[in-house]
Amino acid sequence: MKNIITIILFLPLTIFSQETLETYEIFGKELNMQATEPDGKGYTLYLDGYALDKTVSKGGLMIKSKKIEDFKNAWEEAKLKYIEWTATAKENNVTDMRKDIKVKVPKVQGYFSYGSWHFDFNVSPYFQYIISEGKSGASYGLALYTGKLQASDNQYIDASSFFYGFYSIEDIENFIALLDPKIVTDHFGEKTSKEDLFKD
């Protein structure tokens, strides 16, 4: 019982132990990419998502460093399908469609704020290709959805899906570039170098 209490008390603190490395925009909202400082077990990447549940102020995906490569590869595979399907849609004048992209995405973890921080340790994100008609014509999007997040500490608390959606190949590639582990190692390496200038 003591171990369970310790874990529960520790979890809310983890959301504040990471540092912001980069930002990106979804539907005009600036979101953060954060990471914990690497140690012997690696690091955890926090990717804020666009909340589809308006009762939730913030949340997204937590990805352990050992799963980053698989997560990035899933985005690369989905990007190729986005390119293929966009060409097909334009050739055939398709202007309204939603279709799941069958890409294997690793199971990851999720977090969200609803009064306090809550965590879901078994999240299965999925990709969807989206075509929508607007005033300026059709737009072609690639989206990753988290699916519903269920709080591990309370079965009655959950959050609707968080959304990572991009509507150009440039925006998709810019997001994929953020998944480069070098961004994390460079950030914390530079931080350590600065701190080393000031000896105790």
The pLDDT tens digits for 103-139 are 999 999 999 999 899 999 999 999 999 999 988 889 9
Residue 8: pLDDT over 50: no
Q: What is the pLDDT of residue 197?
A: 38
Question: Is the pLDDT at 196 greater than 70, yes or no?
Answer: no
Q: Are strands 58-64 and 97-101 parallel, antiparallel or unpaired?
A: unpaired
Residue 176 lies in a domain: yes
Q: Are 45 and 37 in contact (CB under 8 A)?
A: no
Q: Does 30 fall in a domain?
A: yes
Where in the sequence is the domain holding 125, given as residue range(s)? 2-185
Is 123 within a domain?
yes
User: Does residue 133 lie in a domain region?
Assistant: yes
What's the structural domain count of the chain?
Answer: 1
Task: Please give the pLDDT value at position 146.
Answer: 97
- Residue whose pair of structure tokens reads 């983890």 in the numeric block: 14
Residue 198 within any structural domain of the chain? no
pLDDT of residue 109: 98
In a domain, 111, yes or no: yes
Is 192 within the bounds of a domain?
A: no
Residue 193 placed within a domain: no
Full-model pTM = 0.85
DSSP lists the bridge partners of residue 144 as 127, 164
Residue 69 has a CB neighbour count (10 Å cut-off) of: 12
